[in-house]
């Protein structure tokens, strides 16, 4: 994509999608020069239109939008422009919302209480193609994959690898859930930072592709209890 090649080197080009104008202007002001905010939208349809036009590196996307939720934006755009990365942002922490945007294709999820530094860092990381897990998302994933899938829970045609986390992935997630940075995790587990990244990306892939019905059911149950 010719327009989207302002990187590497320069700050990532970002479109903000959130239905609260105050929040958008706040984020824009706080991020300052660390990222280049090239557009703002407050609803699904205008957001899709704008993203198609501007082709940003990263879309910072609120999970809750009036016209169908953040995952609708991702589904609309993802097919034509798989290179655009989405980072979901939410105040809700409701598991089923989080799981929905991740499964739609978001590269990460952070809560709105995140510090500006961490947010800028997360945007940059997502722009580089890495996955970003907040400590809460890590907790969700551990919870969702906690039990071994029962045979009738998984469609047999799928790769069974996708339905289980490896021991190492689980360790990484546990440390993320405890608030460790990737660097600290690498040091703690005696692995390289790149390896931590690849574990997280692999977990993200499993989260998106796993055929476990349990994931959805788990999210729904969590809402009720």
Partner 1 sequence: MHDVTPDNGQWNGHWHGPPPWHRQAGPQDDVPGWVHHTRRWRNRGDGEPLRRDPDDRLAGGIAAGLAAWRGFNPTTVRIVLAVAALISQGWAVPFYVLGWLLIPVKGEQTSIASKAKHDAGGVALALALASLLAVFLFLAGALNDSAIEQYGWAQVFTVAGLTLIWRNAPDDERAGMRRLVQPLESLTGSGKATRRATRLRFVGAAVLLAVGLGVLLSLHGGIYLLKPLGGFLLVAAALVLLLGPWWLRIARDLVIERQARARAEERADIAAHMHDSVLQTLALVQRRAEDPQAVVQLARAQERELRSWLFEGRAPGEADASSFAEGVRQIQRDVEARHGVPVEIVTVGDCPLDEHVAALLAATREATVNAAKWSGAAVISVFAEVEADKVSVAVRDRGKGFDPATVPGDRKGVAESIRGRMSRHGGEATVQSAPGEGTKVTLTMPRTARPEPTGRASSSAADGTRR
In the complex, the residues that contact partner 1 under the rule CB under 8 A are 92-94, 113, 135-136, 138-139, 142-143, 146-148, 150, 167-168, 170-171, 174, 177-179, 188-189, 223-225
Which segments of the chain are extended strands (E)? 13-17, 36-41, 58-62, 85-90, 108-111, 132-133
Question: In this complex, which beta carbon is closest to partner 1, that of residue 43 or of residue 171?
Answer: 171
Question: In this complex, which beta carbon is closest to partner 1, that of residue 58 or of residue 165?
Answer: 165
Q: Measured between alpha carbons, how far is 90 from 98 in angstroms, rounded to an integer?
A: 8
Question: In this complex, which beta carbon is closest to partner 1, that of residue 148 or of residue 209?
Answer: 148
Residue indicated by tokens 């989405």: 86
Tell the smallest beta-carbon distance from residue 83 to partner 1 (Å): 32
Of 74, 12, 65, 61, which is closest to residue 43 (Cα–Cα)? Answer: 65
Question: In this complex, which beta carbon is closest to partner 1, that of residue 168 or of residue 213?
Answer: 168
Tell the smallest beta-carbon distance from residue 140 to partner 1 (Å): 8
User: Residue 61, CB half-sphere, CA atoms under 13 Å: how many?
Assistant: 40
Question: In this complex, which beta carbon is closest to partner 1, that of residue 17 or of residue 177?
Answer: 177
| Residue 157 tokens, joined | 């045609």
| Residue 171 tokens, joined | 């360790």
Tell the smallest beta-carbon distance from residue 148 to partner 1 (Å): 5
Tell the smallest beta-carbon distance from residue 6 to partner 1 (Å): 35
Tell the smallest beta-carbon distance from residue 113 to partner 1 (Å): 8
Dihedral angle sign, alpha carbons of residues 76, 82, 83, 88: positive
Dihedral angle sign, alpha carbons of residues 96, 98, 99, 100: positive
């Amino acid at each position: 994509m010719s327009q989207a090649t302002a990187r590497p080197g320069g700050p990532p080009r970002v479109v903000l999608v959130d239905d609260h104008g105050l929040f958008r202007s706040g984020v824009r002001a706080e991020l300052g020069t660390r990222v280049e905010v090239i557009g703002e939208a407050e609803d699904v349809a205008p957001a899709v239109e704008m993203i198609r036009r501007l082709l940003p590196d990263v879309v910072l996307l609120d999970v809750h939008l009036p016209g169908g939720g953040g995952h609708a934006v991702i589904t609309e755009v993802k097919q034509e422009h798989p290179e655009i990365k989405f980072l979901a942002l939410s105040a809700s922490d409701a598991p089923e919302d989080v799981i929905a945007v991740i499964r739609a294709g978001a590269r990460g999820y952070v809560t709105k209480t995140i510090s500006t530094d961490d947010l800028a860092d997360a945007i940059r990381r997502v722009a580089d193609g890495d996955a970003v897990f907040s400590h809460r998302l890590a907790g969700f994933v551990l919870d969702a994959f906690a039990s071994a899938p029962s045979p009738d829970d998984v469609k047999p045609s799928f790769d069974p690898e996708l339905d289980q986390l490896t021991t190492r992935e689980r360790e990484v997630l546990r440390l993320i859930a405890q608030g460790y940075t990737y660097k600290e995790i690498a040091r703690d587990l005696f692995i390289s930072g790149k390896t931590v990244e690849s574990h997280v990306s692999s977990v993200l892939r499993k989260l998106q592709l796993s055929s476990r019905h349990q994931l959805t059911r788990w999210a729904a149950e969590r809402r009720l209890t």
